[in-house]
Amino acid sequence: MAAIKRVTPNVHLNDGEVNRLLAQLSPDNPGLRIEIDELNGLLCDPLCAMLAAVDTCVCGRERWRGMAMIFFQRKPSGWLAEIHDVVVDESFRRRGVGEGLVRELMEVALEFSQTRNAKVTLTLTSKPSRGAANPLYLKLGFVLVAKAEGESGTNLYK
């Protein structure tokens, strides 16, 4: 299985790998991409964390097999953490990579909560069409609190 790493600015960044996975996350939006400077800006934000599932291919180069992000924001009622952009390379699906990424992000949220001695509400959304993702979130203990209606809707999990 691929090793899960926390992505840091400039160190593990590979915008080619990020953009390759973004294309798989949103196949209906083939122009979706992020530039390296934008990605570095995100990763410099202490309220954002990105994880990558990485392995080394036969050629010796690191390949990203999946990625996911979490964002934290302060509201008057407390802290909110949102998991976003969970994507696993098409050739690596159903091998536990997505589960590993989400479990690790859950740990990131727990550590954030503990360091601030504050309650953090963890949420994520997922399109109903993501056949493997929705059952995975339930398996990991998330509760479906709002079910999508229509093609453009998303399920909300807490």
**Every domain of the chain and the residues it spans:** 3-157
pLDDT of residue 1: 66
In angstroms, the CA 89 to CA 25 distance is: 9
Tokens 């050629």 sit at which residue? 59
Question: Is pLDDT of 57 > 80?
Answer: no
CATH architecture of 3-157: 3-Layer(aba) Sandwich (3.40)
Q: Which two tokens stand for residue 39?
A: 């990605």
Average pLDDT, the chain: 90
Confidence of residue 149 (pLDDT cuts 50, 70, 90): confident
Taking the alpha carbons at both ends of the chain, their separation in whole angstroms is 27
Question: Is pLDDT of 34 > 90?
Answer: no
In angstroms, the CA 12 to CA 25 distance is: 20
- For the segment 32-57, the average pLDDT, to the nearest whole number, is 90
